Structure 1
């Protein structure tokens, strides 16, 4: 249970704490984004396992959706973004497999979504880095 609690601290509470610490610095019509994972999708869970990671990402997705509703009156759009299968220390055992991308490619795709798709009409949307909308 200790590892599960740590995953919630980092993956769920960390982004919310960061937002709360910085919210007074945001101007109206700003954009806020949460980097999450499609593993936080309840509908898209076809493999099971990884309870703490999946649960903590589902929780941060809910925080993002809730922030989107709360911040819309200020004109602040919230994006909930899955970066793809990025080559990191966490995914090291999968490096070299099809579909694993570099951090630079992922970041460029996310910036494109933020700049071209994220607005008050799409606030609270859960996006894949490729621009498709992910299921909750």
Structure 2
């Protein structure tokens, strides 16, 4: 909470496991990648009614400013959640403890190729349907 009616929200990218983290360690092996996926989020802050405004404040964030309900889609970045318009001279660079209000420090999305992850079943029964599940991770 920054002030009455103003909250700061920082959303981080998804960590996606592409290899078993418990295998033999190697600096040449990618174990996890970061991906800037849009996720659905629900925010319930008692001081807001059914709608509030969320404003992207970190550099390069294309979310803009939107009037939303309590559940909406969001991508990684730093945001202000507020009930009313922000003051005209609101300082987005102000310090809150050790960080700037508009600070967003994370590694860029690190998905550089397509990964297909499959965990085979330990056993298969004759006469039963076999469902094969995969997870595909791609840079786009």
> What is the TM-score when the length of structure 2 is the normalising length?
0.26
> What is the TM-score when the length of structure 1 is the normalising length?
0.26
Greater share of helix: 1
- The higher radius of gyration belongs to 2
Greater share of strand: 2
